[in-house]
């Protein structure tokens, strides 16, 4: 398993901002805080639903968050949260460019 950053894109068909806010409140450690290992989080409405993109410092940290926090919490049910499984795509990050023009090439 690679130790390079790992990106996850979740698409929740029919998802709403309100469901997102309830879900994030249940799985993140606090307002404007990221789970351990998560280094980037962006979310917003997209055609047909709601999309969340996260980057973790490694695939292992993503899997730990997924297995220890995200899945158990979602399976237990989150009042007002997403009601279905997302369509999820994950990939190792090989290139990351910041707003400051700094390019980080990862192998």
Which residues lie across from 52 on neighbouring strands?
Answer: 10, 43
4 neighbors 106 (Cβ within 8 angstroms): yes
Q: Along the 107 residues of the chain, how does pLDDT read in single tens digits?
A: 557 899 999 999 999 999 999 999 999 999 889 999 999 999 999 999 999 999 999 999 999 999 999 999 999 999 999 998 899 999 999 888 777 766 555 55
Reported pTM: 0.88
pLDDT at position 61 is: 96
Secondary structure of 65-77 in HEC code, one letter for each residue: HHHHHHHHHHHHC
Domains and CATH numbers, the chain: 6-105 (3.30.70.100)
């Amino acid at each position: 398993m690679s130790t390079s950053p790992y990106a996850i894109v979740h698409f929740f068909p029919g998802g709403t901002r309100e469901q997102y806010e309830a879900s994030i409140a249940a799985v993140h450690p606090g307002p404007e805080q990221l789970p351990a290992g998560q280094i980037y989080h962006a979310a917003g409405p997209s055609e047909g639903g709601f999309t969340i993109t996260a980057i973790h410092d490694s695939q292992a940290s993503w899997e730990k968050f997924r297995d220890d926090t995200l899945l158990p919490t979602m399976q237990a049910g989150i009042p007002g949260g997403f009601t279905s499984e997302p369509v999820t795509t994950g990939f190792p990050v090989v290139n990351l460019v910041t707003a400051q023009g700094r390019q980080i090439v990862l192998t």
